[in-house]
């Protein structure tokens, strides 16, 4: 009676109710889809992040790694050598070696090593996987040496290696920089030096002295070989 009294058509009432129900059902369905859409978006982000990590991991495993170390020189004494080595699995291209705070040059009046380093490192080079180069690096001032004066690179500096990697497959060339700080003031004092063996007494032309010196040398070699495994 109320619907008829308000002027509503009783025939259209079910239609209105159905329309309202359809709108409500659509709204409910829409709200129900929001969490699913958010989950899809989150999954897409996670997949993209995982793909980036996998690509980075693959690159980290295949790229070149150029490392440097300053070690006691094979020349003996208090001198040092620089070792440059590619620890990676691909070739390091356009390797350049420089000093962060200065340049290569003569450390004393008669220093020929410093200018030689400048000439060598003026030209970039490539390092294949596992390749290494060892160079005379620093010879401290020794009053007993001829000529006297420090030679080579400075006593304390940061040597920097820059290099490139070409991944291929139309990917961009990668550029890397590896700094290696060093300080050699006290190292010559604390680094063990090999012992060449005792010197037998006697005249220099005595054949028995020569044989005794050989025996001392062999014992020194055996001693050093054993110390390698201690």
What's residue 98's pLDDT? 97
> In the CATH scheme, what is the code of domain 66-185?
2.60.40
Q: Are strands 132-139 and 151-152 parallel, antiparallel or unpaired?
A: antiparallel
What's residue 161's pLDDT? 97
Q: What are the pLDDT digits (tens) for 68-81?
A: 999 998 877 788 99
CA–CA–CA angle 162, 165, 168 (5° rounding): 165
* Statement: residue 144 has pLDDT above 80: no
What's residue 10's pLDDT? 58
What's residue 47's pLDDT? 59
What's the pLDDT band for 3 if we cut at 50, 70, 90?
A: very low
pTM over 0.75: no
Of residues 50 and 73, more confidently modeled? 73
% residues pLDDT > 90 (the chain): 41
What's residue 129's pLDDT? 96
* Statement: residue 153 has pLDDT above 70: yes
What's the pLDDT band for 4 if we cut at 50, 70, 90?
A: very low
Domain residues of the chain, as ranges? Answer: 1-61, 66-185, 194-220
What is the DSSP annotation of the chain? -HHHHTT--TTTHHHHHHHHHHHHHHHHHHHHHHHHHHHHHHHHHHHHHHHHHHHHHHHHHHS--EEEEEEE-TT-TT-EEEEEEE-SSSPEEEEEEEESSS----SSTT--HHHHHHHHHTS-EEE-TT-EEEEEEEE---TTSSS-S-EES-SEEEEEEEEEE---TTPPPEEEEEEEEEE-SSHHHHS------PPPPS-TT-HHHHHHHHHHHHHHHHHHHHHTT-
């Amino acid at each position: 009676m109320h619907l008829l009294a308000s002027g509503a058509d009783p025939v259209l009432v079910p239609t209105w109710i159905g329309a309202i129900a359809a709108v409500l059902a659509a709204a409910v369905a829409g709200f129900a889809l929001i969490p699913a859409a958010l989950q899809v978006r989150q999954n897409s982000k996670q997949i993209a992040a995982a793909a980036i990590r996998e690509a980075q991991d693959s690159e980290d495993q295949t790229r070149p790694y150029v490392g440097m170390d300053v070690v006691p020189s094979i020349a003996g004494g208090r001198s040092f050598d620089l070792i440059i080595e590619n620890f990676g699995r691909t070739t390091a291209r356009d390797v350049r070696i420089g000093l962060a705070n200065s340049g290569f040059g003569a450390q004393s009046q008669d220093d020929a090593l410093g200018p030689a380093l400048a000439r060598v490192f003026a030209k970039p080079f490539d390092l294949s996987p596992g390749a290494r180069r060892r160079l005379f690096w620093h010879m401290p001032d020794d009053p007993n040496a001829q000529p006297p004066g420090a030679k080579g690179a400075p006593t304390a500096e940061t040597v920097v290696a820059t290099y490139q990697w070409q991944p291929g497959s139309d990917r961009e060339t990668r550029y890397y920089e590896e700094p290696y700080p060093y300080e050699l003031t006290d190292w010559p004092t604390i680094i063990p030096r090999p012992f060449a063996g005792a010197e037998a007494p006697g005249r220099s032309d005595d054949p028995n002295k020569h044989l005794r010196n050989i025996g001392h040398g062999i014992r020194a070699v055996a001693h050093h070989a054993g110390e390698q495994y201690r």
